[in-house]
């Protein structure tokens, strides 16, 4: 319902954005534009995830990523590892709830068993990568305060620079960040760069999105390469996407423990 209420404003903004000078947009306005670009009913992607450490070590995994967003903007996520061979078939299911801890399940094909795993910690690293679970969640506009800091250029792309801080009345702050700096491209309203600050205020991670293209058969634009770098250790995770598929009407049953156990 919250989303529906937003629509008139968003529409108005959308119509006006062509004629209005950008400085009249607020941080929140720009984030609304970002949400329009970002939001899909479902999205699946074939990914190659490369974990790199500062000493030159490299580990590569291929995975299929399937995600669906409900009308309250909560995400369901199913990830299946395709390679290396020793973890092929390992699956991971996560269901986000607005009012309680996420549910997470893991399926191990060697045991043919799935196990629910504790998922209270959004700050945990996702499968050992530099991405935290919260980095994969949808942007919750109503839980943050956004400030437009100005304009900047990222890799030649003009972008707005927005700072986001948690702003929830009384609710628990589960984020590991005190602040995020978000660079939203002016051409497609996509997140092209982000800097993450931990609770002490220290700059800890940097996200960069590259190779931005329109997804074939969709009006959405997406980054085909994303990298997250840990500033202190120099460790880095790069996700390269070979293909995005958007709004394929993936049924809700796909995101169930039963489906997870099918191992494919």
Distance CA 154, CA 144 (A): 23
Going 232 to 235 to 237 to 238, the CA torsion angle's sign is positive
Query: Is 2 near another protein (CB under 8 A)?
Result: no
Task: Give the shortest CB-83-to-another protein separation in angstroms.
Answer: 11
Query: Is 90 near another protein (CB under 8 A)?
Result: yes
Query: Is 86 near another protein (CB under 8 A)?
Result: yes
CB atoms within 10 A of CB 168: 14
The site string for another protein over 101-120 (x = CB under 8 A, - otherwise) reads: ----xx-xxxxxx-xxxx--
Near another protein by CB under 8 A, which window of 7-15, 35-43, 192-200, 212-220? 192-200
Helix extents (H) in 18-91: 27-38
Query: Is 203 near another protein (CB under 8 A)?
Result: yes
Q: Find, among 233, 203, 38, 211, the residue nearest to 130 by Cα.
A: 233
Q: Token pair of 231, please?
A: 């500033």
Q: Find, among 189, 92, 212, the residue nearest to 139 by Cα.
A: 189
**Binding residues for another protein, total number by CB under 8 A:** 39
Query: Is 198 near another protein (CB under 8 A)?
Result: yes
Per CB under 8 A, residues contacting another protein are 53, 55, 57-59, 81, 84-87, 90, 92, 105-106, 108-113, 115-118, 121, 124-128, 178, 197-203, 231
């Amino acid at each position: 319902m919250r989303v529906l209420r937003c629509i008139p404003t968003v529409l108005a903004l959308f119509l006006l954005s062509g004629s209005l000078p950008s400085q009249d947009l607020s941080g929140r306005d720009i984030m609304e534009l970002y949400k329009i670009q970002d939001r899909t009913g479902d999205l699946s992607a074939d990914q190659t995830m490369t974990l790199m450490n500062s000493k030159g070590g490299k580990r590569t995994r291929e995975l299929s990523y399937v995600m669906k967003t409900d009308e309250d903007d909560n995400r369901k996520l199913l990830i299946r590892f395709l390679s290396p061979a020793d973890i092929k078939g390992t699956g991971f299911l996560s269901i986000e709830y607005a009012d309680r801890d996420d549910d997470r399940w893991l399926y191990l094909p060697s045991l043919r068993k799935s196990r629910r795993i504790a998922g209270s910690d959004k700050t945990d690293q996702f499968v050992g990568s530099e991405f935290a679970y919260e980095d994969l969640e949808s942007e919750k506009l109503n839980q943050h305060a956004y400030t437009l800091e100005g304009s900047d250029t990222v890799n030649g792309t003009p972008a707005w620079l927005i700072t986001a801080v948690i702003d929830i009345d009384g609710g628990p702050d589960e984020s590991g960040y005190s602040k995020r700096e978000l660079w939203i491209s002016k051409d497609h309203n996509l997140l092209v760069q982000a800097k993450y600050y931990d609770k002490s205020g220290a700059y800890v991670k940097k996200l960069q999105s590259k190779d931005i293209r329109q997804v074939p058969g969709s009006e959405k634009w997406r980054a085909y390469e994303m990298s997250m770098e840990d500033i202190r250790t120099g460790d880095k995770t790069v996700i390269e996407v070979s293909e995005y598929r958007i709004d394929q009407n993936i049924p809700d049953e796909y995101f169930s423990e039963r489906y997870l156990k099918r191992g494919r």
